[in-house]
A and B are shown apart, each in its own frame.
Chain A
Amino acid sequence: MLSIKNLHVSVGDKPILKGINLEIKAGEIHAIMGPNGSGKSTLSHVLSGKGGYTVTEGSATYQGKDLLEMAPEIRAREGVFLAFQYPVEIPGVSNIYLLKAALNSIRKHNGQPEVDAMDFLTLVKEKVRLLEMDEKFLYRAVNEGFSGGEKKRNEILQMAILEPKLCIMDETDSGLDIDALKIVSEGVNSLRSPDRAFVMVTHYQRLLDYIKPDFVHVLAHGQIVKSGGADLALELEEKGYSWVEDNQAAA
């Protein structure tokens, strides 16, 4: 589904990512772990099309298309979804309007008619119940005045309704208490499917207790220094990031 080859990315003159290689197939969950400043967030931003980054070398191919050539909204319509570490408050735009507008623009992109208003409401209300959210959040402005946990749930709600193919989750566990983490994880797990892939960027292992990854990659100094199965995350938790960083230095 996504093939990243030798990806180099700079901010200004400063290289952040220095040759990332990653193959992600439908149905897989990949965890990208790494210490602060390793380039984790840069990777999720570059894949979703945020401005301010320069790709100096390499490629990212999504479903056979050049992902890096697409505008952010085209990536979103093609099925790439970024769950933000810090979801942005948009005063004056209602949550339910944005959901509907986003869903319809995906449908239009895929040559489908607009969603029926009643069907849409039924769908949204079902997902709201699943995420144990209050329906009143739908009619409030996007993320405005939401708590940290509510914002993250709202991200998962959007994901559940838009049904993306590739979900990039940037530090989804940050700012969540244990109850909210469980609800969010259940939401994500319910979306697992053979034709959907997840990239979970996280600093801590604790999210992975709830969402079990197929692969774990450790990012340090802009490169993937170690890859393995779910066990790698546990080993990291035990030994700390210095373990892989030291290994890298030794090699």
Chain B
Amino acid sequence: MNTATASRYAAEYQTIAPALPGQSLPWLQALRAKALEQFSAQGFPSPREEEWRYTNVSGIEKKLFSPSVSLTIGDVNAEWLKAYQLQDAWVLVLVNGHFSAELSVLDGLPEAVSVMGMADALAKQPDKVEKYLGTAADQAEHSFIAFNTAWFTDGLFVHVPAKVVLDKPIQVLHAVTGADAMATTRNIIIVDEMAEAKVIETFISRDGVYAASLPGAGAAIGEANAYLTAAVTEVFVGQNADLTLYKMQSESEKAYHFGGSYIKQARDARFTHHNFAFGSLLARSDIHVDLDHASECELNGLYLGVKRQHIDNHTRINHLKPYAISRELYKGVLDDRARGVFQGRVIVAVDAQKTDSQMNNRNLLLSDDAEADTKPQLEIYADDVKCGHGVTVGQLDEKSIFYLQSRCVDEETARNMLTFAFANEMVDKVKIKGLHDMILEQVLARFPQQGVNKEWL
């Protein structure tokens, strides 16, 4: 069944391929050919694969999504786009998988810093792209990565050279406008030695819940669209460098989202990831981090599921060398018939002595039909390490509800307060004010229950 879908895509590929970027680059053509071959043989991942056992992507297979071969921004309503655009940031806009110079705001970047669309990068700096593309994300991992390699139309390319500290964040807006569209982007972020940067990946559609809540947006919104986003981001954090990567996924409620972030950290590098998974009918994120000597990573996540949403987050932290530190906290709030999946693996290699690792996943179920599947895994091959993990799946604490009631708060409000407070811990970790406020608005707009009040903060 999987391969039948794959061959439909393969048949279509021949007509699309000439429009994909990097035609004149033999190494990329070879990479794409190999990826297409792999995808054609395997199709999309099957629940029979251990890493996909909780997530069935057959909904994607039933449709045939079509990539747009060129940039069409005619139906992009700049108003809803602006609502997601941070004021004090460099902003790169991708519409249906294509870079739009017109909508992007990249003035005033330090000269040595590159922020551009991937198609431009392949034209202007092909050698640098070749050096990195496909080296952090292993397409043998699963066929979504192969799919992305074969089909990507554009993406984000960021290079921050050594010792450069960016004073503003870089935001990339992945906007999808059409029904049955396919937005396949490949992104590369390179932060060299002792450099510092903050990058924000924002996945949005014009019929997102947040967009719909904007004043005056009503007319532009329309029906929720089914479409497919497949984004692969490869991240390279140099020695002693510091990168914070944010991901806010607010796709349409009928969308399918695959997003993979694959991070390689050099010695003493620091990497922080904040993953907010709010949208999509079915969303899967992979976050894989390779840690070198004494490097540190912090992975934070918040997923909010309502109706029949299925939100899956897969993290893998590879402690490859000694003295590295990893901290991970993922929280989920699931209502209605929503399902949340957390699979977190920490692998400590034989050489990785003095590893210090903590992984936690906490889930709040607001309805009897909601489901959380959580699977933390520690694989430790070294003998002198400090590793821990914790998992909870539960309802609100009745003692806390009574305490609030005894302080005049009615029961429903008490439940909302506690639920909101549970989620807000993750929002509070975001230190970019504009982004923090936007995510907070998103939580309030999407929150499963009514009557949540910002003043509770």
Contacts and interface: CB of A to CB of B under 8 A. Distances in A.
Interface of A: 48-51, 71-73, 75-77, 81-82, 84, 87-88, 90-94, 97-98, 101-102, 105-106, 109, 141, 158, 162
23 contacts: A49-B405, A71-B410, A72-B402, A73-B406, A73-B409, A73-B411, A77-B408, A84-B403, A84-B406, A88-B402, A90-B418, A91-B425, A92-B425, A92-B456, A93-B417, A94-B457, A98-B404, A98-B407, A101-B407, A101-B408, A102-B407, A102-B408, A158-B407
Contact of B456 (A75, A97, A109): A97
Contacts of A97: 455-457
B400 A90 contact: yes
Given A76-B406, A93-B421, A94-B457, 18 more contacts: A49-B402, A49-B405, A50-B402, A72-B405, A73-B406, A76-B405, A81-B406, A82-B406, A84-B403, A88-B400, A88-B402, A91-B422, A91-B425, A92-B422, A92-B424, A102-B407, A105-B408, A105-B409
Contacts of B141: none
Contacts of B457: 94, 97
Contact of B411 (A71, A87, A94, A158): A71
Nearest to A83: B406
B333 to A, nearest CB: 12
Task: State the 10 A-B residue pairs at the shortest beta-carbon distance, nearest first.
Answer: A92-B421, A72-B405, A88-B403, A105-B408, A102-B408, A76-B408, A102-B407, A73-B405, A73-B410, A82-B406
Contacts of B425: 91-92
Contacts of B417: 90, 93
A103 to B, nearest CB: 8
Contacts of A82: 406
Contact of A76 (B399, B407, B421): B407
Contacts of B407: 76, 98, 101-102, 158, 162
Given A92-B456, A93-B456, A101 B409 contact: yes
Nearest to A86: B399
Interface in B420-447: 420-422, 424-425
A160 to B, nearest CB: 14
Interface centre among A73, A77, A141 (most CB of B within 10 A): A73
Nearest to B404: A90
Given A51-B402, A90-B403, A92-B424, A102 B418 contact: no
A77 B410 CA distance: 10
B368 interface: no
A221 B124 CA distance: 86
A135 to B, nearest CB: 18
A220 B421 CA distance: 41
B398 interface: yes
A208 B309 CA distance: 58
A104 to B, nearest CB: 9
Contacts of B424: 92
Nearest to A52: B398
A98 B455 CA distance: 10
A48 B421 contact: no
B191 to A, nearest CB: 32
Contacts of B421: 90-93, 141
Contacts of A109: 408
Given A77-B408, A102-B409, A94 B402 contact: no
A172 to B, nearest CB: 15
A201 to B, nearest CB: 15
Contact of A106 (B408, B411, B455): B408
Contacts of B406: 48-50, 72-73, 75-76, 81-82, 84
A240 B282 CA distance: 66
A57 to B, nearest CB: 24
Interface string B362-402: 00000000000000000000000000000000000111101
A99 to B, nearest CB: 8
Contacts of B409: 73, 98, 101-102, 105
Contacts of B400: 88, 90
A88 B397 CA distance: 10
A162 B399 CA distance: 21
Contacts of B422: 91-92
Contacts of A106: 408
A49 B402 CA distance: 8
A77 B422 CA distance: 26
B123 to A, nearest CB: 48
Nearest to A75: B406
A106 B422 CA distance: 26
Contacts of B399: 88
A162 B406 CA distance: 12
A94 B456 contact: yes
A76 B413 CA distance: 15
B398 A51 contact: yes
Contacts of A101: 407-409, 455
A63 B407 CA distance: 19
B112 to A, nearest CB: 42
Contacts of B408: 73, 76-77, 101-102, 105-106, 109, 162
Given A97-B455, A101-B409, A92 B420 contact: yes
Contacts of A81: 406
Nearest to B427: A92
Contacts of A75: 406
Contacts of B455: 97, 101
Interface centre among A87, A105, A106 (most CB of B within 10 A): A105
Contacts of B405: 49, 71-73, 76
A29 to B, nearest CB: 21
A235 B404 CA distance: 38
